Structure 1
Amino acid sequence: MSYQRDPRVDAYIDPLPEWQQAICHEVRELVHAADPEVVETIKRTVQPYFVLDGNICALLAAKTHVNVFLYDGGIVPDPEDIITGGHENKTGRTVAIHEGEKLNVPALLAMFEQIIANNRAGGWRKLKRES
C-alpha cells in the first residue's frame, strides 16, 4: 500500500524490539487500509497518531505490549471483544497487543473504518450529543 509516511513515526518505531516493530507496522498498514486519506503525525512529543477529520488512533509501545488507543468516545461497537482497557473512558479505549499475540485484523479494521466514518460525520462528541 502506498501512503505518505511521516519519518517521525519511523523514528518512533525503528528502535523498538522487533516484535513491537511488527505490531506497529501492521497497525500502521491497517489504519491506512481503512482509508487512503489517513495522515500520520506525532503528538505529545513522540507518540504516533493517525488522523482524518480528527484522531483515529495512536500507538504507544510499553514494556510488555503495544497499546493502540482508539479515539472513538466509546461508541464504536466491539463485537469481537478486542478492547482491553478504557471501557469507562469518555474519549478513547485501548487494544493492547502482547508479544506473540495475533492482531484481530478484521475487527480492528472495522473499528478504524467506523471511527473514520464518525469523524467525517462530525466526530464522536457530536454523534453522542445527537443520540
Structure 2
Amino acid sequence: MSYLADPRVDAYIEGLPEWQRTICQEVRELVHAADPAVQETIKRTVQPYFVLDGNICALLGARKAVDIFLYDGGIVPDPHGIITGGHENKTARMIAVQEGETLNAPALLAMFKQIVANNRAGGWRRLKRENPDIPR
C-alpha cells in the first residue's frame, strides 16, 4: 500500500522489539487501508497517532503488549469482541495484542472504517449529542 509515512512514526516502530514492530506495521497498513487520506503524526511527544478529521487510533509499545487505542467514544460496534480494555471509557477503547497473539485484521479494518466515517460525520461527540440511541 502506498501512503505518506511519517519518519517519526518509522523511528518509533523501529525502536520496538521485532514482535511489536510486526504488529505495529500491520495496524499501520490497516488504518491506511481504511482510507487513503489517513495521516500519521506524533502526539504526546512520542506516540504515533493516525488521524483523519479527528483521531482514529494511537499505538503504544508497552512491556508485554502493543496497545491500540481506538478513538471512537465507545460507539463503534465490536461484534468480534476484539476490544480488551476501556469498555467504560467515554473517549477511547483499547486492544492489547500480546506476543504470540494475532490481530483480527478484518474486524479491526471494519472498526477503522467506521471511525473514519464517524469522524467525517462530525466526530463521535457530535454523533452522541445528536443521536439519543447511542449509548453515553
Which residue is equivalent to 2:30?
Answer: 30
Which residue is equivalent to 1:83?
Answer: 83
CA drift of 1:87 comes to: 0.3
Which residue is equivalent to 2:118?
Answer: 118
Q: Between the two proteins, what is the percent identity of the paired residues?
A: 79
CA RMSD of aligned residues (A): 0.3
Letter in 2 for 1:60: L
4+ residue runs over 3 A deviation: none
CA drift of 1:99 comes to: 0.5
Where 1:95 maps in the other structure, the secondary structure is strand
Aligned length: 131
CA distance in 1, matches of 2:130, 2:110: 22
Letter in 2 for 1:82: I
Which residue is equivalent to 2:46?
Answer: 46
CA drift of 1:4 comes to: 0.2
Q: Deviations over 1:73-115 (max 9, x none)?
A: 0000000000000000000000000001010001000000000
Matched, 1:20 2:25: no
CA distance in 2, matches of 1:15, 1:47: 12
Where 1:100 maps in the other structure, the secondary structure is coil
CA drift of 1:15 comes to: 1.3
TM-score normalised over the length of structure 2: 0.96
Q: Deviations over 1:107-131 (max 9, x none)?
A: 0000000000000000000000011
Which residue is equivalent to 1:4?
Answer: 4
Structure 1 runs not aligned, ≥5 long: none
Structure 2 runs not aligned, ≥5 long: 132-136
TM-score normalised over the length of structure 1: 0.99
